[in-house]
Amino acid sequence: MLAPAGVRAQGGPPLITDDPDTPGPGYWEINLSGLFEKNRLERRFETPRLDVNYGVGRRIQLKYEMPWLEVRPPGQPTRSGAGNSVTGVKWRFLGAEGKRVAWSVYPQLEFNTDHGSVDKGLVEPGRQLLLPTEITLEVRHVEINGEVGRNLVEHGPDGWVYGISTEANVTRRLELLAELHGERRESEPAELIVNVGGRQKLTHQLILMLALGRAVHGVPDERPRLLLYAGLQLNLPGFYRFDHPDGR
């Protein structure tokens, strides 16, 4: 069933677990999406969610991400506002796209975009510094990604993030995905999320992304009972082919 495909395999959206891949030198990867999360306490929407990435050379990626949040607790007024901004730099120091093994580090700083969102209880106050590393093993058109990192929180307990995901091309335009992603803060039960999804290539620049998941472990009232992601990925000027060497 697994056949070679023209779609460039990649981690990240619509999954939570990332991988070492980068857009390529001078190439843009822009993800415009929506995320719905439901637990026992509230319903949370991130619409729109803007995630902009730019390739600097063949091994470095610059990132900026910010969602617009809307929270609906049962029997209470809806609150909305700007979510936290995330900036990051990914450096793949080993391997490359299409190689059997690739390895990267991806430090990311999360900070409050609007203090009004803190006052409304939409986001936690202060900054967070995520220090993850990602590794990929690719065998016969099946990609296995692993990620683990320390999350340093300014006004709260520090924690860990970790995940494993797999990706497989089933046609030249369709890629199926699955992941197991965990997050843990000190003295709290680990939250473990199962996600499945896919990427459908629509054009050379445009990809449709979908994912569906839920938490199977965590704080009972806070863990997501439903996660739904839908988005479009725009690649400009198109997909960079890492198998074609260049001088940049």
Compare 46 and 141 and report the one with higher pLDDT: 46
Nearest to 205 by CA among 60, 63, 22, 8: 8
DSSP notation for 130-195: EEEEEEEEEETTEEEEEEEEEEEETTS--EEEEEEEEEEESSSSEEEEEEEEEEEETTSPPEEEEE
pLDDT at 9: 44
Q: Please say whether the beta carbons of 216 and 193 come within 8 A.
A: yes
Residue 187: give the domain boundaries: 28-236
Give CA–CA dist 14/16, Å, rounded: 7
Please tell me the total count of domains within the chain.
Answer: 1
CATH of the domain at 124: 2.40.160.40
pLDDT per residue as tens digits for the range 135-173: 999 887 788 999 999 999 999 999 999 999 999 888 999
The pLDDT confidence band at residue 99, using thresholds 50, 70 and 90, is: confident
pLDDT per residue as tens digits for the range 162-210: 999 999 888 999 999 999 999 999 888 999 999 999 999 999 999 999 9
Which tokens sit at 222?
């806070």
14: in domain: no
The pLDDT confidence band at residue 6, using thresholds 50, 70 and 90, is: very low
7: in domain: no
pLDDT at 140: 76
Give the CA diameter of the chain: 60
Indicate if the pLDDT at residue 248 is higher than 70. Answer: no
146: in domain: yes
pLDDT per residue as tens digits for the range 206-243: 999 999 999 999 999 999 999 999 999 999 999 898 87
Residue appearing with tokens 């979908």 = 210
83: in domain: yes
38: in domain: yes
21: in domain: no
CA distances from 109 to 41, 146, 230 (A): 28, 21, 24
The pLDDT confidence band at residue 70, using thresholds 50, 70 and 90, is: very high
242: in domain: no
75: in domain: yes
Question: Considering the chain, what percentage of its residues have pLDDT values greater than 90?
Answer: 83
